[in-house]
Amino acid sequence: MSAKKRIRIAFGLAAVGALTIGLAACSTGDSGGDGGDGGSDEITTVGFVAVGPEGAWREANEQNIQDTFTEEAGYDLKYAPATNLDQKSQIDAFTSFVDEGVDVILLSATEASGWEDSLKRAQEAEIPVILLDRGIEPDDDSLYVTRIAPDNVEVAKEVGTWAAATFPDGGNYVVLEGPAGVGVVNERNTGFDEGLGGSSLEKLDAQTANWSAEEGKSVFETMLKASNNDIQLVFAQNDEMGLGAAQAAEEAGLVVGEDVKIATIDGTKNAMQALADGQLSYVHEYNPLFGETALEVVEKALAGEDVESYIVVPSEAFDSAEAAQAVLADRKY
Ligand code: AHR
């Protein structure tokens, strides 16, 4: 992630620098949008180049965006999910939005690289682009207004710090990664390694399980067989892969929490329930509910106001069954 200045949003509050962004109570949907240009009732057209079906996190994030940019709020949101996570379908949708002359484009990229030409076309057409969740590589932040996401490096660093503290005498660990080419995968590996610091934990293997519970289970089954079950920690880069690993551990006769610990990122309901039930050991939220923030940024961008190049969405860590139980009832995703 660019080392550029980032601002942290205080929940529900705060003015930061020249910019005031309140991350209202997540996904309240009662957006303050006023049609994007401060008071007139004209409709602002938003092209949303989205990922589409991918898992519980993605569903929550994209639904929150659609629930926020409503007609009542003064927006015409054109939702364009990728076809089978294919980047070409995203680039085609992006190009169509530029040709159509939408007012602003929201982009959640399936692949980190390959966006320069599209972003330059939008810039020539004076259409602001806001990155949601996923970054681009190389990270040329002159090509977009801002990126809105939790900080993957910091989130994963907290997972690594927890792992190092949990295994002071070391042990063997494996990583279940998201798909190759997705920017957050590299950011999470970087953060986890930073958090591990001088830990004597040994990495036995790292493989993609493509964000999927089914693949997380099959990949971890193979890893267990290859190591004769001698794995004490799994860092799963999202909840679904961690839940799949938990199934594999159970079928191998291992007890999660005793024989092996499983840490995941996202904080979706199923993972929080699994943490409460002892089937996961640590879950770091990667808060998907930033639609209100995205709407406020769109309004600032269309009003020509300054916006920081990275807007970090705060996300909490949950390291015990009790911590998960405390939030389960009110969980919004
Ligand atoms: O980019 C965010 C990641 O994409 C989430 O952690 C994962 O669940 C989603 O598929």
Say if ligand 1 is within 6 A of residue 333 CB.
no
pLDDT at 2: 45
Q: How confident is the model at residue 24 (pLDDT cuts 50, 70, 90)?
A: very low
pLDDT at 288: 98
pLDDT at 299: 97
What HEC string does 108-123 produce? Answer: CCCCCCCCHHHHHHHH
Mean pLDDT of the chain: 91
- 181 conformational bin, left if phi > 0, alpha if psi -120 to 50, beta if neither: left
Domains of the chain: 5-148+288-313 (3.40.50.2300), 152-286 (3.40.50.2300)
Beta-ladder partners of 175? 206, 235
Distance CA 310, CA 223 (A): 37
**For ligand 1, mutation pick of 152, 238, 269 (most atoms within 8 Å of CB):** 238
In one-letter notation, the amino acid at residue 179 is P
Alpha carbon distances (Å) from 278 to 234, 243, 263, 312 = 14, 11, 12, 30
Q: For the segment 179-214, what is each residue's pLDDT rounded down to a tens digit?
A: 999 999 999 999 999 999 999 999 999 999 999 999
Say if ligand 1 is within 6 A of residue 115 CB.
no
Q: For the segment 212-265, what is each residue's pLDDT rounded down to a tens digit?
A: 999 999 999 999 999 999 999 999 999 999 999 999 999 999 999 999 999 999
Tokens 């007012």 — which residue?
103
Three-class SS state of 22: coil
Say if ligand 1 is within 6 A of residue 110 CB.
no
With a cut of 90, say whether residue 16 has pLDDT above it.
Answer: no
Say if ligand 1 is within 6 A of residue 211 CB.
yes
CA nearest 187: which of 237, 153, 158?
153
Better-predicted residue by pLDDT, 42 or 289: 289
Q: For the segment 88-115, what is each residue's pLDDT rounded down to a tens digit?
A: 999 999 999 999 999 999 999 999 999 9
With a cut of 60, say whether residue 7 has pLDDT above it.
Answer: no
Say if ligand 1 is within 6 A of residue 184 CB.
yes
Distance CA 51, CA 288 (A): 13
Distance CA 49, CA 83 (A): 11
pLDDT at 6: 52
Q: How confident is the model at residue 40 (pLDDT cuts 50, 70, 90)?
A: low
With a cut of 50, say whether residue 20 has pLDDT above it.
Answer: no
Alpha carbon distances (Å) from 94 to 46, 206, 216 = 11, 33, 32
Beta-ladder partners of 220? none
**How many angstroms does the Cα of residue 182 sit away from the middle of ligand 1?**
9
* Mean pLDDT (whole number) for 136-144: 96
Q: For the segment 150-176, what is each residue's pLDDT rounded down to a tens digit?
A: 999 999 999 999 999 999 999 999 999
**For ligand 1, mutation pick of 272, 286, 290 (most atoms within 8 Å of CB):** 286
**How many angstroms does the Cα of residue 238 sit away from the middle of ligand 1?**
6
